[in-house]
Amino acid sequence: MNILIFLKFMEMKNTLLSLDMWAVPRALRGETKFNEEYLLKRKDTGEEWWGSYSFAPIKNKKGQITGSVVVGRDITSVKSSEIKLKEINLTLKEREEQLRLFIENAPASIAMFDNEMRYISVSNRWIADYNIEGYKLIGKSHYDVFPEITEKLRQVHKRVLAGSREQASQDKFIRLDGTVQWLKWEAIPWYSPSGSISGIIIFSEDITDLKSANDALKDSQEKYKYVIETAEEGIILLDKNGTIIEANPKSRELFGDMNKPLIGENLEYINRELKINSNDFKEVFEAVLNEKSIPTAWEYFNKKGEKKFIRINLSFIKKESEIERIAIVVEDITDLKMRERSLKENEQFLDNIIDNIPDMIFVKTADELRFERVNRATENIWGYGRDEIIGKTDYDLFSEDKARSYIKDDLEVLKKSELSDIPEEIIDTRYNGERILHTKKIPLIDEKGRSKYLLGISEDITQRKSDEIQLKKSLDEKEALLKEVYHRVKNNMQIISSLLNLQIANVQGEESKDILKDSQSRIKSMAMIHEKLYMSKDLSHINFKEYVEHLVTDIFYTYGVKVGAINPILRIENIELNMETAIPLGLIINEIVINSLKFAFPQGKGSIKIIFKSFNNTLTLTVADDGIGIPESVDYQKTDSLGLKLVTNLVDQLNGVISLETNHGTKFDITFKELEYKKRL
Q: What are phi and psi of 498, to 5 degrees?
A: -65, -40
Phi/psi zone of residue 605: left (φ > 0), alpha (ψ -120 to 50 degrees), beta?
Answer: beta
Q: Are 594 and 518 in contact (CB under 8 A)?
A: yes
How confident is the model over 603-651, as pLDDT tens digits?
Answer: 889 999 999 999 998 999 999 999 988 877 677 666 666 777 888 888 8
106-211: CATH homologous superfamily? PAS domain (3.30.450.20)
- Give the CA dihedral 259, 262, 267, 272, nearest 10 degrees: -10
Q: Return the domain boundaries, the chain.
A: 3-74, 106-211, 231-338, 357-460, 471-672
- Residue 571's DSSP bridge partners are 611
In this prediction, residue 143 carries a pLDDT of 93
Distances 119 to 106, 108, 123, 568 between C-alpha atoms, Å: 16, 17, 11, 127
Specify the amino acid at residue 173.
F
Which pairs from 381-388 meet CB under 8 Å and 24+ separation? 381/429, 381/432, 381/435, 381/460, 382/427, 382/429, 382/430, 383/429, 383/430, 383/431, 383/432, 384/430
How confident is the model over 185-221, as pLDDT tens digits?
Answer: 999 998 988 889 999 999 888 888 888 888 888 888 8
Q: Are 560 and 521 in contact (CB under 8 A)?
A: no
**Neighbour tally for 490: CB within 10 Å:** 19
* CATH 3.30.565.10, domain 471-672, yes or no: yes
**Neighbour tally for 2: CB within 10 Å:** 12
- Rg over CA atoms, the chain: 66
How confident is the model over 36-86, as pLDDT tens digits?
Answer: 777 777 667 777 777 777 888 888 888 888 887 877 777 777 777 777 767
Ranges of H-type helices in 235-357:
249-255, 267-274, 278-289, 334-356
Specify the amino acid at residue 620.
T
In words, the CATH class of domain 231-338 is alpha beta
- Give the CA dihedral 526, 531, 533, 534, nearest 10 degrees: 140
Q: What are phi and psi of 419, to 5 degrees?
A: -65, 135
Q: Give percent of the chain above pLDDT 90.
A: 25
| Pairing assessment for the beta strands 119-122 and 322-332 based on DSSP bridges | unpaired
Ranges of H-type helices in 461-509:
462-506
How many residues are there in the chain?
Answer: 681
Among the listed residues 607, 492, 495, 608, the one whose alpha carbon sits nearest the alpha carbon of residue 548: 608
**Exposure of 615 by Cβ count < 10 A (0-12 exposed, 13-18 middle, 19+ buried)?**
exposed
Q: How far apart are the C-alpha atoms of 273 and 655, rounded to whole Å?
A: 85
Ranges of H-type helices in 162-277:
208-230, 249-255, 267-274
Q: Select the highest-mean-pLDDT range: 77-81, 443-447, 585-589.
A: 443-447
Mean pLDDT of the chain: 80
Domain 357-460: give its CATH code: 3.30.450.20
DSSP letter for each residue of 117-149: -BEEEE-HHHHHHTT-TT---BTSBHHHH-TT-
How confident is the model over 599-610, as pLDDT tens digits?
Answer: 889 888 999 999
How confident is the model over 387-437, as pLDDT tens digits?
Answer: 999 999 999 999 999 999 999 999 999 999 899 999 988 888 888 888 999
Distance of CA 485 to the CA centre of its chain: 72
Q: Select the highest-mean-pLDDT range: 15-19, 308-312, 440-444.
A: 440-444
Strands (E), 291-382: 297-301, 307-319, 322-332, 360-365, 371-374
Q: Which CATH architecture has domain 3-74?
A: 2-Layer Sandwich (3.30)
- 357-460 and 471-672 share one fold: no
What is the arithmetic mean of pLDDT over 516-524? 69
**Exposure of 611 by Cβ count < 10 A (0-12 exposed, 13-18 middle, 19+ buried)?**
middle
